[in-house]
Amino acid sequence: MDIAEYRKRYEAELAKASPPERRARTEGRRPSAAARAKDIATAPLEEDKLEEQVADLLTTLLNRDESLTVRMAALDALAALAFLGPRFAPFGADYRQALRDVATDPKPALRERALELLAIDRDPYAQELLVQGLKRSQDALVPEGKAIQLLGYDDHAEFVPLVRRVYKRAKGAAREEALRVLATDPQSERLFSRLLKDKSEKRSIRRLSASGLQSLNPEAFDRAARKILADEDDDNDIRATALAALAHGREAHETPVDPKLVETVQKIGESTSSRALRSASRRFLQSTEQ
């Protein structure tokens, strides 16, 4: 299937009195973008016309003169058709190339969606675009946090050194996404340990750090979690997070539970005014009885 050929056909049809996109005219006027997008979204799958249907969708997607709403509808429709497996295989190469073209589209929402679809399939071209954007902010096609998230779909470690560098300057959502990627990086263990113990850090950062440290070094996490749990001046939600992690970790299941820890948790559950901590205490004690 030649996309360029279908684009020419599309443009020729658009110049006619009744092209496919204008067949639902109302009082002689072209339907709104919302109406056309709805038509695309609700169009039934016609097996005998699948090639024509895909071609029309690709042409619409690549038409930068078309409205964003309609192009997004075409992209979503193509993404849905891609799940047809072998039936969609003949169009796979054209679809991927269209996604690559749209990955640098002027419309931010469109290129973000295209990059996401490519990143899920670990497309090297999309990954290179994302890496370049993290290295040079002027080349960024999506926000920093989104770029890190999309690179995180590939569980290989080749992007970790870059994410580690980006973390040092990252803020907000980008900082959190970086920590999610670094949760598999042994060199980030000390970072997670420090962040978990830092009472001045945001709760979301400390929760991510708890998860990261527990994954990288369960023993180190257990030690840190016990100290946090025993610290009445620490944030109760973080204490509850630490206790919940202990309940699902090695303390409750893989080794005999420390009687002193059980006693501490019992006292906390009886004395705390925090519903989160009281609930976590109850779950921990129940887990030790199983």
pLDDT score recorded for residue 290? 62
pLDDT score recorded for residue 16? 45
Going from N- to C-terminal start, the domains of the chain cover 1-42+51-102, 121-182
- Over residues 187-238, the pLDDT tens digits come to 999 999 999 999 999 999 999 999 999 999 999 999 999 999 999 999 999 9
pLDDT-wise least confident of 79-83, 158-162, 251-255, 280-284: 251-255
How far apart are the C-alpha atoms of 7 and 47, rounded to whole Å? 22
Over residues 264-275, the mean pLDDT reads 91
In the predicted model, is pLDDT for residue 145 greater than 60?
yes
How far apart are the C-alpha atoms of 202 and 130, rounded to whole Å? 27
Cα distances from 254 to residues 22, 102, 250, 265, in angstroms, run 66, 50, 5, 18
Nearest to 141 by CA among 133, 131, 152: 133
- Over residues 84-95, the pLDDT tens digits come to 989 999 999 999
Question: In terms of C-beta density within 10 A (0-12 exposed, 13-18 middle, 19 or more buried), how is residue 192 classed?
Answer: buried
In the predicted model, is pLDDT for residue 134 greater than 70?
yes
In the predicted model, is pLDDT for residue 11 greater than 90?
no
- Over residues 156-191, the pLDDT tens digits come to 778 999 999 999 999 999 999 999 999 999 999 999
What 3-state DSSP class applies to 28?
Answer: coil
Cα distances from 21 to residues 18, 25, 51, 82, in angstroms, run 8, 9, 17, 23
pLDDT score recorded for residue 155? 77
Residue 27 neighbours by CB under 8 Å, 6+ apart:
none
pLDDT score recorded for residue 19? 43
pLDDT score recorded for residue 24? 46
- Over residues 16-68, the pLDDT tens digits come to 433 444 444 445 577 899 999 999 999 988 888 999 999 999 999 999 999 99
In the predicted model, is pLDDT for residue 5 greater than 60?
no
pTM comes to 0.81
Residue whose structure tokens are 């559950």: 269
Residue 126: which pLDDT band, with cuts at 50, 70 and 90? very high
Q: Which residue has the higher pLDDT, 80 or 248?
A: 80
Over residues 264-277, the mean pLDDT reads 91
Residue whose structure tokens are 């000390």: 190
